[in-house]
């Protein structure tokens, strides 16, 4: 299969997963909540940052829309053309977002349509685990991030205690799917199209290899505020790393 054909197949898969028919409201961000989700973690780690942002895997733009008042401009890319169409509808329907946001179709692990050192912040929330070429992706994210700028990354935590218990009992851990049912996975992608798995130590080594230094770690889940004292108790790892 040629690389072009592979990208076409991936776009088709994510168009099926994200048809873009419904336009959800801007994400509600709760950076100080006790029980958090990954977007709350992003809000906490991004607090105080300013400038220009690139959101990798923007989907329908709900997170970008929520963050728009904090930043000068936010660009978003997604491999799903239907999701990007919905994101652009969001801009058309909300005058306050016009001139603040732009969205386009692009693959996160292919050359990005942006100049070197264009962004103060690069967001990649629940993206890296889906990509075929993770080194190429991170090299590109490093290229478009300004020196001293930040990458905020969220991935599933394979060391999460629930996944360790699953492995102990011979079950495949699920990080992107609600069920192991084969018919469901045929339609929605094996484990939600997750291709890679990470721990804090493996992600630290990967980030340092491509030129980012992790600064702050956090994680989500029920009572996450109390679970972060031991990172393996959190379901997803979210990290803020600085470009060296």
With a CB cutoff of 8 Å and minimum separation 6, the contacts of 189 are 13, 17, 176, 177
Give the domain range for residue 15.
3-243
- Per-residue pLDDT tens digits for 147-202: 999 999 999 999 999 999 999 999 999 999 999 999 999 988 999 999 999 999 99
Q: pTM for the full model? A: 0.93
- Per-residue pLDDT tens digits for 105-141: 999 999 999 999 999 999 999 999 999 999 999 999 9
The CATH number of residue 200's host domain is: 3.40.50.150
Token digits of residue 71: 């930043």
pLDDT at 1 > cutoff 60 = no
DSSP 201-217: HHHHHHHHHHTEEEEEE
pLDDT at 85: 95
Q: How many domains in the chain?
A: 1
Helix (H) or strand (E) holding 71: none
Percent of the chain with pLDDT over 90: 83
């Amino acid at each position: 299969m040629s690389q072009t054909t592979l990208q076409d197949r991936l776009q088709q898969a994510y168009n099926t997963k994200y048809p873009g028919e419904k336009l959800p409201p801007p994400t509600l961000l709760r950076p100080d909540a006790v029980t958090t989700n990954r977007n709350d973690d992003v809000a906490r780690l991004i607090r105080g940052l300013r400038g220009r942002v690139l959101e990798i895997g923007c989907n329908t733009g709900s997170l970008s829309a929520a963050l728009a008042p904090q930043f000068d401009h936010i660009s978003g890319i997604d491999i799903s053309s239907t999701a990007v169409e919905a994101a652009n509808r969001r801009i058309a329907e909300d005058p306050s977002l016009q001139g603040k946001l732009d969205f386009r179709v692009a693959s996160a692990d292919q050359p990005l349509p942006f100049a070197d050192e264009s962004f103060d912040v690069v967001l990649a929330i629940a993206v890296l685990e889906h990509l075929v070429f993770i080194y190429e992706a991170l090299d590109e994210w490093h290229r478009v991030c300004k020196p001293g700028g930040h990458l905020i990354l969220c991935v599933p935590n394979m060391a999460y205690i629930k996944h360790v218990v699953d492995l102990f009992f011979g079950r495949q851990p699920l990080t992107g799917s609600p069920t192991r049912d084969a018919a469901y996975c045929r339609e929605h992608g094996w484990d939600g199209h997750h291709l890679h798995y990470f721990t804090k130590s493996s992600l630290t080594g990967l980030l340092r290899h491509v030129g980012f230094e992790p600064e702050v770690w956090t994680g989500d889940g029920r009572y996450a505020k109390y679970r972060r004292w031991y990172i393996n108790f959190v379901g997803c790892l979210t990290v803020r790393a600085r470009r060296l």
